[in-house]
Structure 1
Amino acid sequence: MDDHTVKAILFDLDNTLIETSRAGAVAMQKVSELLKTTLGLNDDIIHIICDKFKQKLYRETFDPAAGRSIDEVRVGHWKESIQEAVGSRPAVCSSPSLPTECYYLWKNSRLEVLTLSSEIRTLLKELRVRHKLLLLTNGETQTQREKLVATDCEKFFDAVVVGGEHAEQKPAVSIFRFCFNLLGVEAQDCIMVGDSLDTDIEGGFNAGVRATVWINNTGGAVPDDVAKPDYTVPTTLHLPAILAELK
């Protein structure tokens, strides 16, 4: 390899290599059907419950030292969401196990849908011939490790780094440096590929990677107050053309 060749590629996982948002939508639909059957609620109330859960998930802070598992925390999200939306209706009070049922239906349905497509698998195999590949994903350890098992994707990478297992997650420079050291490369040898401007693109930029690639699968514009990606593509499958430019 010459000094101008990209030696390593860092990939985000969710909505970069796997369609987590789509899987989440499928899982929410199944929970909605459970709530409708169990509580006899109308679609508007069910939508409120599911939206409240998604908000709690988005704002979630998890501390393993607190003595509760991530499963217990998220069962609590469903319990609170149902109570906040419907209060103490008799049907709710008579279904104490409903939050647990909602959580495991949501969790297991999402994992069942998550997959590494054949096109992405082929791409990763081809890229690994000439590049070191590292998967760098933010998130709570159990949750992200379950996704890795469900998608059987670890075998396509030279290393996997889960943010929840480190003191800092993306966009912290420290976790990028950890990745560079793990692969035995310099920042300028690498590119960062991900769907989040706040974590993947800003983190890669601050860490000094050679280029950042934003997977913009929603078609939105880049806000003025974030780091600008060097490349923007609708899918990771466009990566070979970018690598050809970077030679």
Structure 2
Amino acid sequence: MDRSRVKVILFDLDNTLIDTAGAGRIAIERVCDFLKTSLGHEEIIRDICQRFAVKLRHESFDPNYGRNIDEVRIDHWQQSIRECEGVDRGRPLAAECYRIWKGTRLQLLTFAPPVRTMLEELRKTHRLLLLTNGESQTQREKIQAVGCAGELFSGLVVGGEHPEEKPAVSIFTHCFRQLGVLPQDCIMVGDSLDTDIQGGFNAGVRATVWVNPNGQIPLEGSVRPDYTIATVLDLPGVLAALK
């Protein structure tokens, strides 16, 4: 057996394998269109949607508080509307905004055909594990939406279901144990330097691969990936270089 061969590929999900950001932008536009029929003022509507996006980006969720993620995100919409209009238009309007946003986003989340084809080919020679940060319900819904559970991956690990998320070593150790491999048997592929690449570095994986479609330049002092690719579809070339 070739002990130097990469045996396991750890994949991030959002904006690595699926275009979560793009789906989110379209979902926001759908809500804006809906609000035009209810509120009418386009400038205010844009402000409402931008405020929701900011609240989502800085979201802090604790399941121990007795509320689920759906309730928290309805709150985001209700607060955004109240902040922009100066009046509380009630829960039903906020709930409808959330229903449109969530439904649209999930409907758009999918593996692009070339990505699915690549995963199907990689699965013939490697074990694939999905390692995604985020609240459990939200991430499980995404996984269900793209239809990847069990079909393409040997393991699915959701950060919100563990004491620590990426970049903590503990969640990587859980992945290694789940598949019965060593860190040097694995590579980590993801779009985030702070979580995916830093986490892979912390855990001692064979190599880290940064998916960087916009050509970002790492900030001084940030972790440096072993490989940088413009799209996850370039990964087979990295694997060839690692042989």
Matched, 1:114 2:113: no
Alpha-carbon offset, residue 151 of structure 1: 0.5
Alpha-carbon offset, residue 3 of structure 1: 1.6
Please tell me the root mean square deviation across aligned C-alpha atoms, in Å: 1.1
Matched, 1:144 2:133: no
Matched, 1:229 2:228: no
Alpha-carbon offset, residue 28 of structure 1: 0.4
- Amino acid paired to 2:103: N
- Give, in whole Å, the separation in 2 of the partners of 1:215 and 1:46: 33
- Among 169, 176, 181, the residue aligned to 1:173: 169
Alpha-carbon offset, residue 242 of structure 1: 0.3
Show the counterpart of 2:37.
Answer: 37
Alpha-carbon offset, residue 96 of structure 1: 4.3
Asked whether the 8 Å contact 2:39–2:45 carries over to 1, the reply is: no
Return 5+ residue gaps in structure 1 as ranges. Answer: none
Asked whether the 8 Å contact 2:6–2:187 carries over to 1, the reply is: yes
- Give, in whole Å, the separation in 2 of the partners of 1:208 and 1:168: 17
- Amino acid paired to 1:11: F
- Give, in whole Å, the separation in 2 of the partners of 1:46 and 1:202: 38
Alpha-carbon offset, residue 49 of structure 1: 1.0
TM-score (norm 1): 0.95
Q: Counterparts of 1:1-247 in structure 2 under 5 Å?
A: 1-42=1-42, 44-88=43-87, 93=89, 96-154=91-149, 155-247=151-243
Report % sequence identity. 58
TM-score (norm 2): 0.97
- Give, in whole Å, the separation in 2 of the partners of 1:76 and 1:96: 8
Alpha-carbon offset, residue 225 of structure 1: 2.5
- Give, in whole Å, the separation in 2 of the partners of 1:232 and 1:213: 6
